[in-house]
Amino acid sequence: MPAVRAAVLWVIVAGLASLTVLASAAAYDTKQEKEKGDGCVITTPYPYFGNVPDELKPFRNVEPYYKYWQERLPFRGPGRDYPDSAQLKSLKVGLLGPPPYGSEGRRGEMSRKGVMLAFEEANAARQPGELPFEIVERIDTPQWGSAANLAVEFADNEVLAFLGTIDGDATHVALRVALKIETFMVNTSDPDPTLTETQIPWLLRVFPDDRQQGYRLAQLVVKERGCKQIAVFRVNSRPGRVGVRTFVDSVRRLGQPIMQELRFKEGDRVFDQQIAVIKQAEPDAILFWGNPEEIGPAAAQLRAAGIKAAFFGCDRLLDEVFLKGAGDAAEGTTVAYFFDPQKTDKAWVEFGARFEKRYGVRPDIYAGYAYDGARLTIDGIRKAGPNRYRIRDALADLEHYDGVTGHMHFDARWDNIAPIVLAQYREGKWWFEGPKKSEQAKAASQAEPSSFHEAQEK
């Protein structure tokens, strides 16, 4: 497919060069009009940008010229009436994973296990005459842009949709190609807030993004803990830069702008220069953002230098690697997390038992969201049939879905904006605190039993 490959290269260069982040103009309530089959028009409220709390809305006291991300961008092209292939022997779905030897290797392997379990169960439960599902798996490489070629390989293999991946750069590139090959992408593990700002109507993300962490941590640090001298210690990479921005903006809107934003490189283990600067500033709160391999030793060195600030962090600190590197310095650290993996609801407990029986380990959030993303894709294919365009419609129209990770609520950008939780490390274990009552009430009021999986079971 040389023409497709040429077009892919063009769209990546042109699209990435022109991408503009316009989040500041987008945090507003909205209603989306939809037409029923009987011709009646109904309105469904879409949550404002990222489900941002009222007090953290940018430009909340003015009316902007234009409001972005209030409506879901439709796909108006052909394809829904294309006939199904008579030669189909299986229903192919792509899986794009990170390199096993890279920084995302552990998380990628758990995601892969979650996806594989979902498709194994789907094939085991298929009825006579139903086609089996087949996974077309591709592993990304460290070379920038390699995900473009892999997405084209998915098109060459005629997949109906594809899942992945964790790395933000690779996911952005693959999404641009999804637009050209017109194949829907379900992301299960990339929290990059800018991913869905592309407004490409071939993507749905089940993994809550970093905005949700930033909002909750800002409220915790400033309003609940009363911290006034805040420092940010983050990895010097794109995930670090875009991930921490919501927190930085939010604490400023709460009247406590950060004092410092210090950076480190992946692979660093000694942080003398950063610690000297932080010690001089005497912060009462430090927010960590990055991988546990670096942040664990950084936390230990900060405490050894006599810095008594409270430690906060993103979800990646909830990891044995962080605890090992931080040692006693981990005590009292509070992090944002996407749900409580110790919860005891039936769906999660039964999934955990099946996962552990299959793989010999307990599932984590990456396995859980990968399983849910795969199940959601499976249900969409079953509903729409083997037609990429109708599958796109089925998945892009989804507003609510109940999975093993919990209830998902998708906004106008196809992001899962379900409330997240906090976890604090005390006395040798993580203690989880559920969503704020206001967030739970909002989620409950917006919940609808509209998932494909539920519809098939009724």
Lowest mean pLDDT among 152-156, 310-314, 356-360, 437-441: 437-441
For residues 96 and 101, give the distance between their C-alpha atoms in angstroms, rounded to a whole number: 15
Q: Report pLDDT digits (tens) over 413-457.
A: 999 999 999 999 999 999 999 886 555 445 544 544 434 443 333
Q: What is the tally of helices (H) and strands (E) in the chain? A: 14, 16
List domains and CATH numbers for the chain. Answer: 91-208+343-419+447-457 (3.40.50.2300), 211-337 (3.40.50.2300)
Residue 142: predicted pLDDT: 77
Contact 325, 292 (CB under 8 A): yes
CB atoms within 10 A of CB 76: 6
pLDDT (average), residues 160-178? 92
246-to-88, 151, 218 alpha-carbon distances in Å: 46, 30, 9
* Rounded distance between C-alpha atoms, residue 67 and residue 30, angstroms: 10
Work out the pLDDT band at 65, boundaries 50, 70, 90. Answer: confident
pLDDT higher than 50, residue 12: no
Query: What values do phi and psi take at 255, rounded to 5?
Result: 90, 10
How confident is the model at residue 63, as a pLDDT?
82
The arithmetic mean of pLDDT across residues 331-360, rounded, is 97
pLDDT, residue 168, reads 85
Residue 199: which pLDDT band, with cuts at 50, 70 and 90? confident
116 touches 372 (CB < 8 A): no
Query: In whole angstroms, what is the distance from residue 270 CA to residue 97 CA?
Result: 31
> What residues contact 256, with CB distance under 8 A and at least 6 apart?
221, 222, 227, 228, 230
pLDDT in tens, 16-47: 333 333 333 322 233 444 444 444 444 455 77
Across 169-188, average pLDDT: 95
What is the average pLDDT across 326-343? Answer: 96
With a cut of 80, say whether residue 307 has pLDDT above it: yes
If we measure between CA atoms, which residue out of 281, 284, 222 comes closest to residue 248? 222
Mean pLDDT, residues 144-164 taken together: 94
Segment 76-101, tens digit of pLDDT: 999 999 998 888 999 999 999 999 88
Kindly report the average pLDDT of the chain as a whole number.
Answer: 87
410 contacts: CB under 8 Å, gap ≥ 6 = 204, 398, 399, 400, 401, 416, 417
Q: Per residue in 236-286, pLDDT tens?
A: 998 999 999 999 999 999 999 999 999 999 999 999 999 999 999 999 999
Least confident residue range of 76-85, 111-120, 141-150, 226-235: 141-150
The dihedral over CA atoms of 148, 184, 358, 456, expressed in degrees to the nearest 10, equals 180
pLDDT of residue 69: 79
